[in-house]
Every structure is written in C-alpha cells, then in structure tokens.
C-alpha cells in the first residue's frame, strides 16, 4: 500500500512538469507572448519612462532571457529543492531546503501565494456547500429512478436530468440574475459579490428587536412547516394536488403582484399563476414521498418566515451569516444543477446494474426486506462509480466556478484565473495551473484509495 502511494506520488512529478511545460510553451510561443513591452503597453508614458519601466520589468522577472531559461528559472524558484542565488543573481550553491516561491504577480505586484490564499477560501466555500447538495439530490433521484425502472418517474426524471445537464451555466446565471436580482423584475437577491458592505459591520448572527418577535418567528415557522409536512403525507394524491395547486395559485399571484408596474399585465398574471399552480400541483401529486415532503416542507418554511416578518414589530438586523447565505443562493443553484443532473444518471446506471445482479436476487429470495436489499447491499456496491467521479468533480467545479464567479462577480479562484489569463500574468497563470493540477492529481489518488476502502476486492499490493 505505502509503496503504491509513494509510486503514485513520484509519478505526479513528471506529470506536473509536463502540465507547466505545456502551459509555458503556449504562453511563450504565442504571438506577442510575454514580454516587458506587452506589460508596459497601453500605459501612456514618455519614451524614457517606458524604457525604464521595461528595463525594470526585465530585471525583475527576467523577461529578456530566452524562453527555456525563463522556464528553468521559474522551475528552480518553485521547486523546494534547487539552486540558490545571491543578491546580484549569481549562482550561490545548491540547497535541499530552500523552499518554494511562486513568484510575484505581474499585474497585482503582490506575491502569488498571497493572492491565492485570499481567493481559495471563497471557491472552497462555494464547493463545500455545493458538493453535498449535489450528492444528496443525485442519490435521492438516481436510486428512486433505478428502483422504478421504466415507469413514469424514471422516464420523466431521466429526460429532465439530461435537459438540466444541457442547460449552459451562463444562461442560468444570466436569467437568474436578470429575473431575481435586477430591479426590473423581482429584486429578491443581490446581483453580485458575497456580502454587502454594511454586512461587514454587522454581528455574525441575526438579531431581533424583541423577544416576542422571536417567539412569533419560531411559532409560525414551526407551525407552517409541520402543517405542510402533514399535508404532504395525505394519502389521496388528488386532494393533495388540488390543495397545493391553490397555494401555488396564490403564490403566483403574489409573485406577479410584486413585479414593477410596467411589467404587470393580464398575460403576465395568468402565466405566472398558472405556472406556479402547475408546478405545485405536480409536486404534490408525485408518488415519491421524499421529494414531496422536502418540497412542501420548504414551502411551509418559506410561508412561516413571511408570516413572521409580516407580524414582527421591532427592528431586525440580518447579521453577517444570513447576509452571506442570501448572497450564496443564486451562485449555488448555478453550481449544483449540472452536477446533480450528471451524477443522478450515473447513480441510476450503477444501481440498475446491481439491482439486476444475482446477489440482489438471492438476498430478496432469502426474504431480506426491499429496503435492506436496496440500501445495505445494492447501494453500497453502487458507490464505486460515484467515488470515481468525485475525483473529476473537483476540477470540474473549479472550472465551473470560472463562469459562476465571473457572472456573480465573486472574487474566487475562477475569477482570478480569468483575470490572470486575460492580463497575461505569467507567474499567476503558471501557479494556478500548478496548483489545480496538483489538486486534481491528488484527488485522483484519493479516489483510488477510497476505491480500495469501499471495495475489499481492490488492492494495490
């Protein structure tokens, strides 16, 4: 096992070298490439000042030396083991512990490490929230679809998931911002960033003015949620659907009413109310109780909050946490839907393969209950492909966040990457490449190790 890990870690070194080399060659061979001229370009300077600035950049980043030398110098700076140089730039000696230095960004003039350390937590926050959501929804839908194979839920969810998977993230982002964040339609969410300026000075948790407000809030939320969950457990689907369609109708009416004057019209009202009614009714009619309870509970929660805010009297401070959550809603929607659409299809295939296998039939024949067969036997064996995919999910989320972060102007790694590339920032581009490459390779390794843990038949001895 340990020899395997060590071997894999050693194999990463040539791969990482290759990655940075590919990226460096692209940058160096591009017309214009990276040169002091391209950095100074666009600044309105006198010729002498321009020359001086070019010389300064050349000296600082060694841009006037040939490309292979530049690459080797960068490599030497980055690798923890290598040659050291003295102040004047002469070879000093060879050190095993000189530590790695990612260099300074051209554009920002700051150490790359600092820049990345600033941005990583933001992207990590987005991913840490979205990955569990992706997995939970994917498993819930995929398992259900596999057990109901060929029935309406399976066919419907398969088509819907393929459709969701095909919706480009930028379209979703643009439409969500346009309809739910701009003041032309519903100004419910903020358009950009991760928090408001004012929220930085607020306390962390939300605060209410008086105790009675809190009591009203707790009571109304609990009551509404409990009521709706109780309703979702009714046994007659048509009653459920009818009741919920009426609620949807009301919700749609309020939504249309919240639109600014000039967007309102009979057609808008009809469209929104009928759409909401149809959606609510369809969910309430669904056979899948988990989906029903979840959706109705969510609606109950929302109604509880709205009622509480309607009746409360004292001042209310939303606090940093709530403000952050409020800002995260739209980006998280954009980040998750493609992932769970893809994963749920994968879950379905894996589950199906195991559900149809001999051991599942044997377990059923022995008299093991359906639930136990599903979750104790079949589900565990279906986890393997999910683990494999989790490795490739990490880089894809980093890539996906490029779009989401630039739409929502969130200063994360994705946006940094776009800025670095657009600004031809050599050190930054190479460092981001190196780090994302390293992360990806590590996640491959971890996935392979998890594979061995999940399936005892796999061993790397």
Partner 1 sequence: MSSADTPTARSAGASYGKKIMHDVFSRFGAKLGLTWIAVIAFVAVFAPFLANSHPLLLSINGEVSSPALSFLTSGDVTVLGVFICAVALYFLRLSFTKNIVVLAVVGGGIALLSIIFVNPPQLTVYEQYRVNESAANYDWVIRAPIPYSPKDYIREQGDTGLEAPLSNEHRSHLMGTEENGADVLSRMIHASRIALAIGFIATGIALFIGVILGGLMGYFSGVVDMIGMRLVEIFEAVPTLFLLLIFVAFFERSLYVMMIIIGVTGWPGYARYVRAEFLRLRQQEFVQAAIVCGLPLRSVLFRHMLPNGMAPILVAASFGVASAILAEATLSFLGLGLVDNPSWGQMLNQSVQSSTFNWWMAAFPGGAIFLTVFAYNLIGESMRDAIDPHLKRKS
Out of 5, 9, 22, 270, the only residue in the binding site for partner 1 (CB under 8 A) is 22
Residues linked to residue 207 through DSSP beta bridges, in sequence order: 317
If one asks whether residue 296 binds partner 1 (CB under 8 A), the answer comes out as: no
Among the residue ranges 110-118, 166-174, 272-280, 303-311, the one whose residues contact partner 1 (CB under 8 A): 166-174
Among the residue ranges 10-18, 95-103, 240-248, 323-331, the one whose residues contact partner 1 (CB under 8 A): 10-18
If one asks whether residue 31 binds partner 1 (CB under 8 A), the answer comes out as: yes
Q: How far is the CB of 397 from partner 1 (least distance, A)?
A: 9
Task: Residue 241: count other Cβ atoms within 10 Å of its Cβ.
Answer: 19
How far apart, in whole angstroms, are the C-alpha atoms of residue 108 and residue 129?
A: 30
Q: How far is the CB of 454 from partner 1 (least distance, A)?
A: 21
Name the one residue in this structure whose structure tokens are 């009741």: 243
Q: How far is the CB of 118 from partner 1 (least distance, A)?
A: 19
If one asks whether residue 307 binds partner 1 (CB under 8 A), the answer comes out as: no
Q: Closer CB to partner 1, residue 61 or residue 208? A: 61
Separation of first and last alpha carbons in the chain: 6
Among the residue ranges 100-108, 223-231, 274-282, 435-443, the one whose residues contact partner 1 (CB under 8 A): 435-443
Q: What dihedral do alpha carbons 35, 36, 40, 41 form, nearest 10°?
A: -30
| Residues 172-192 as b or e (16 or more Cβ within 10 Å = b) | bbeebbeebbeeeebeebbbe
How far apart, in whole angstroms, are the C-alpha atoms of residue 163 and residue 218?
A: 39
Q: Closer CB to partner 1, residue 214 or residue 387? A: 387
Q: Which phi and psi angles does 101 have, rounded to 5°?
A: -130, 120
If one asks whether residue 260 binds partner 1 (CB under 8 A), the answer comes out as: no
How far apart, in whole angstroms, are the C-alpha atoms of residue 169 and residue 172?
A: 5
Out of 71, 85, 108, 165, the only residue in the binding site for partner 1 (CB under 8 A) is 165
Among the residue ranges 87-95, 156-164, 195-203, 362-370, the one whose residues contact partner 1 (CB under 8 A): 156-164
Q: Closer CB to partner 1, residue 58 or residue 436? A: 436
Q: How far is the CB of 45 from partner 1 (least distance, A)?
A: 24
If one asks whether residue 367 binds partner 1 (CB under 8 A), the answer comes out as: no
Scanning 148-265, the segments in alpha helix (DSSP H) are 152-166, 169-176, 211-232, 237-257
Q: How far is the CB of 237 from partner 1 (least distance, A)?
A: 24
CB 112 within 8 A of CB 104: yes
* 259 to 92, 179, 303, 450: CA distances (angstroms): 70, 10, 19, 50
Q: How far is the CB of 159 from partner 1 (least distance, A)?
A: 6
Task: Residue 435: count other Cβ atoms within 10 Å of its Cβ.
Answer: 16
Residues linked to residue 173 through DSSP beta bridges, in sequence order: none
Q: Closer CB to partner 1, residue 32 or residue 47? A: 32
If one asks whether residue 5 binds partner 1 (CB under 8 A), the answer comes out as: no
If one asks whether residue 184 binds partner 1 (CB under 8 A), the answer comes out as: yes
If one asks whether residue 427 binds partner 1 (CB under 8 A), the answer comes out as: no
Q: Closer CB to partner 1, residue 30 or residue 203? A: 30
Q: What angle do CA 112, 74, 33 make, to 5 degrees?
A: 85
Residues within window 386-415 making contact with partner 1, judged by CB under 8 A: 395-396, 398-400, 402-403, 406-407
Task: Residue 113: count other Cβ atoms within 10 Å of its Cβ.
Answer: 15
If one asks whether residue 333 binds partner 1 (CB under 8 A), the answer comes out as: no
CB 447 within 8 A of CB 387: yes
DSSP per position, 101-129: ---B-TTT-SBHHHHHHHHHHHHHHHHHH
Name the one residue in this structure whose structure tokens are 């009746």: 311
Number of residues interacting with partner 1: please give it, by CB under 8 A: 58
Q: How far is the CB of 348 from partner 1 (least distance, A)?
A: 8
If one asks whether residue 437 binds partner 1 (CB under 8 A), the answer comes out as: yes
Out of 64, 196, 353, 455, the only residue in the binding site for partner 1 (CB under 8 A) is 353
Q: Closer CB to partner 1, residue 136 or residue 174? A: 174
Residue 31: DSSP 8-state: S
If one asks whether residue 186 binds partner 1 (CB under 8 A), the answer comes out as: no
Q: How far is the CB of 15 from partner 1 (least distance, A)?
A: 5
Task: Residue 453: count other Cβ atoms within 10 Å of its Cβ.
Answer: 9
Task: Residue 65: count other Cβ atoms within 10 Å of its Cβ.
Answer: 12
CB 388 within 8 A of CB 343: no
Structure tokens that stand for 338 in this block: 């493609």
If one asks whether residue 182 binds partner 1 (CB under 8 A), the answer comes out as: yes
Out of 99, 132, 163, 265, the only residue in the binding site for partner 1 (CB under 8 A) is 163
If one asks whether residue 275 binds partner 1 (CB under 8 A), the answer comes out as: no
Residues that bind partner 1 (CB under 8 A): 11, 14-16, 18-19, 22-23, 26-27, 30-33, 150, 154-155, 158-159, 162-163, 165-168, 170-171, 174-175, 177-179, 182, 184-185, 353, 356, 395-396, 398-400, 402-403, 406-407, 417-418, 421-422, 424, 429, 432-433, 436-437, 440-441
């Amino acid at each position: 096992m340990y020899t395997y890990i060590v071997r894999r870690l050693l194999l990463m070194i040539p791969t990482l070298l290759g990655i940075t080399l590919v990226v460096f060659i692209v940058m160096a061979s591009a017309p214009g490439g990276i040169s002091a001229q391209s950095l100074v370009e666009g600044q309105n300077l006198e010729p002498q000042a321009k020359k001086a600035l070019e010389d300064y950049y050349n000296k600082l980043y060694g841009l006037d030396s040939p490309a292979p030398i530049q690459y080797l110098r960068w490599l030497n700076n980055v690798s923890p083991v290598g040659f050291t140089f003295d102040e004047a730039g002469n070879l000093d000696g060879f050190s095993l512990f000189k530590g790695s230095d990612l260099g300074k960004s051209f554009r920002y003039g700051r150490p790359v490490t600092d820049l990345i350390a600033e941005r990583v937590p933001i992207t990590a926050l987005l991913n840490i929230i979205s990955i569990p959501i992706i997995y939970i929804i994917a498993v819930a839908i995929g398992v259900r679809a596999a057990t109901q194979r060929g029935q309406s839920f399976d066919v419907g969810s398969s088509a819907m998931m393929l459709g969701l998977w095909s919706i480009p993230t930028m379209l979703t982002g643009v439409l969500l911002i346009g309809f739910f964040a701009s003041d032309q339609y519903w100004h419910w969410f903020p358009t950009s960033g991760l928090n408001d300026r004012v929220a930085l000075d607020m306390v962390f948790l939300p605060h209410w003015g008086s105790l009675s407000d809190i009591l009203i809030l707790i009571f109304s939320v609990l009551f509404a949620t409990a009521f709706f969950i109780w309703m979702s457990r009714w046994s007659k689907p048509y009653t459920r659907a009818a009741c919920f369609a009426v609620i949807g109708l009301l919700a749609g009416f309020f939504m249309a009413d919240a639109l600014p004057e000039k967007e309102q019209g009979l057609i808008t009202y009809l469209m929104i109310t009928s759409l909401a009614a149809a959606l609510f009714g369809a969910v309430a009619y669904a056979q899948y109780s988990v989906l029903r309870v979840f959706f109705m509970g969510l609606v109950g929660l929302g109604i509880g909050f709205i009622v509480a805010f309607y009746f409360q009297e004292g001042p209310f401070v939303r606090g940093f946490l709530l403000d952050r959550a409020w800002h995260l809603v739209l980006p998280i929607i954009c980040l998750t839907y493609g992932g769970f659409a893809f994963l749920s299809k994968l879950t379905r295939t894996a589950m199906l393969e195991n559900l149809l296998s001999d051991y599942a039939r044997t377990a059923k024949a022995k008299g093991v209950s359906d639930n136990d067969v599903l979750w104790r036997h079949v589900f565990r064996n279906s986890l393997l492909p999910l683990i494999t995919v989790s490795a490739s999910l990490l880089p894809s989320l980093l890539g996906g966040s490029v779009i989401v972060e630039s739409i929502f102007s969130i200063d994360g790694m994705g946006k940094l990457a776009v800025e670095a590339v657009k600004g031809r920032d050599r050190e930054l581009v190479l460092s981001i490449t190196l780090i994302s490459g390293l992360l990806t390779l590590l996640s491959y390794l971890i996935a392979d190790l998890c594979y061995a843990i999940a399936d005892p038949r796999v061993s790397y001895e």
